Amino acid sequence: MRPRRVCDGVQWIGSIDWNRALFDELIPLPDGTSYNAYLVSGSEKTAIVETVDPEKAAELCAMLDAADVQEVDYIVANHGEQDHSGTLPMMMDRYPEATLLCSPKAKGILVDLLDVPEESIRTVADGEKVSLGDMTLEFIHAPWVHWPETMLTYVPERSLLFSCDMFGSHLATSDLFASDPSRLYRAAKRYYAEIMMPFRNHISKHLERLAAYDIQIIAPSHGPLHDSPAFIMDAYRSWTLDAPSNKVVIPYVSMHGSTAIMVDRLISGLADRGIAAVPHHLSSGDTGRLAMELVDAATVVLGTPTVLAGPHPLVAYAAILANALRPKLQFASIIGSYSWGGKAVDQLMSLVPNLKVQVLDPVIAKGYPREADLQAVDALAAAIADKHAEANLS
Ligand code: FEO
């Protein structure tokens, strides 16, 4: 790739990672990702905003060569996570005259994680502005999108927001600007679910603050840029603020078919009552899809067989994940089976203390589910429908 024009004086100099399959050794990346770095060339000074993952250091160097960047005044580190900052030491070697700008909290993180020399760092206050001549960098501290030190950088003369992880997507595409709304929506929702959802309250405050800025271009650190920012900002408002949907997510595993029969019966019972049922077979391994479905679900029903007296480990993992992601669920239950005993229900419930949910009576069959068990599943579907109706979910 070569540098690409974002707007007058601003170029994309990032890297597209078409083949990355896993992020943080945790998050599946079915569509790859990108690390977006930007060159901001003012009439008097030059800044680089964000860098790239260390795996892509050579590509960043090639971009800087292609853009013929001889001197840099500022390198802006909006975020300390290594996919943004990992090449900072290399950049400070390449441009020793540059001052590294970051939030006060980021300074310690960059020193701790990357051994960046403290004397090369200048911290910037919330709202502080740095002039590049005909363009200005205004720093907006935005804790918890994604880490506590994170900030955004705004260029008022271009109505451009470098939004760091916020409004991003793990989506490798040759389109500089978003051009396929439905594909982008799914990628951005998946990304929000995996990375942003635990910080919903912080995000809603940041959205409120950003409403006062004139933003025509959003340039995130991952995925395509937005030249119609209302699309992604409205999506974030909906994901963070709207009531959950009339939807039940059913993460489950079935070893010998009993739990699967109960899941199937539950899906039918919910569908008969006009409720969207989304089964998620955990053996698929795509926890990102599960996270995405949890963004707007009102209810989760975990389906588990009993393994060594407890829940199946994949179901326990799903419970731990849901607990960490803190979706806006309102109700929860468990269905499954056992052969000679166990504490699957108690153990699963102990794994989700962060979920502020009302627990509906679990249905656990002894062995193969009989008619009475299936009627109990029907009763669970009816109870969920009553709760959703009381909560006015649509
Ligand atoms: Fe793109 Fe929080 O890293």
Entry pTM: 0.95
CA distance linking residue 76 with residue 348, whole number of Å = 44
Joined together, the tokens standing for residue 16 give: 């597209």
In this predicted structure, the answer to whether residue 268 has a pLDDT above a threshold of 90 is yes
| CA 275–ligand 1 middle distance (angstroms) | 35
The minimum-distance atom of ligand 1 relative to the CA of 79 is 2
- Residue 170 in contact with ligand 1 by CB distance below 6 A: no
- Residue 304 in contact with ligand 1 by CB distance below 6 A: no
Residues 6+ apart with CB under 8 A from 202: 142, 143, 144, 145
Residue 25 binned pLDDT confidence (cut-offs 50, 70, 90): confident
CA distance linking residue 167 with residue 33, whole number of Å = 14
Stretch(es) of the chain classified as CATH 3.40.50.360: 247-387
Q: Does 327 or 26 have the greater pLDDT score?
A: 327
- Residue 53 in contact with ligand 1 by CB distance below 6 A: no
For 10, half-sphere exposure in the C-beta direction (CA atoms, 13 angstrom radius) is: 26
List b or e across 186-213, with b for residues whose CB sees 16 or more CB atoms inside 10 angstroms.
Answer: bbbbbbbbbbbbbbbebbeebbeebeee
- Residue 141 in contact with ligand 1 by CB distance below 6 A: no
Q: What is the CATH number of domain 247-387?
A: 3.40.50.360
Joined together, the tokens standing for residue 360 give: 């509906």
| CA 23–ligand 1 middle distance (angstroms) | 10
- Residue 146 in contact with ligand 1 by CB distance below 6 A: yes
Stretch(es) of the chain classified as CATH 3.60.15.10: 4-241
What pLDDT, in 10s, does the model give residues 102-120?
A: 999 999 999 999 999 999 9
In this predicted structure, the answer to whether residue 394 has a pLDDT above a threshold of 80 is no
Of all residues in the chain, the percent with pLDDT exceeding 90 is: 95
- Residue 293 in contact with ligand 1 by CB distance below 6 A: no
Domain 4-241's class? alpha beta
| CA 71–ligand 1 middle distance (angstroms) | 27
Asked if residues 28 and 286 have their Cβ atoms less than 8 Å apart, the reply is: yes
- Residue 50 in contact with ligand 1 by CB distance below 6 A: no
Q: Closest residue (by CA) to atom 1 of ligand 1? A: 165
CA distance linking residue 308 with residue 306, whole number of Å = 7
Please tell me the total number of residues recorded for the chain in this structure. Answer: 394
Q: What is the structure's pLDDT at 259?
A: 97
Q: In the block, which residue shows the tokens 């229900």?
A: 345
The minimum-distance atom of ligand 1 relative to the CA of 82 is 3
What pLDDT, in 10s, does the model give residues 155-210?
A: 999 999 999 999 999 999 999 999 999 999 999 999 999 999 999 999 999 999 99
| CA 24–ligand 1 middle distance (angstroms) | 9
Q: What is the structure's pLDDT at 284?
A: 84
Q: For the chain, where are the alpha helices, taking DSSP H only? A: 57-66, 82-85, 88-94, 104-114, 181-191, 200-210, 230-241, 258-272, 287-294, 313-325, 344-350, 371-390
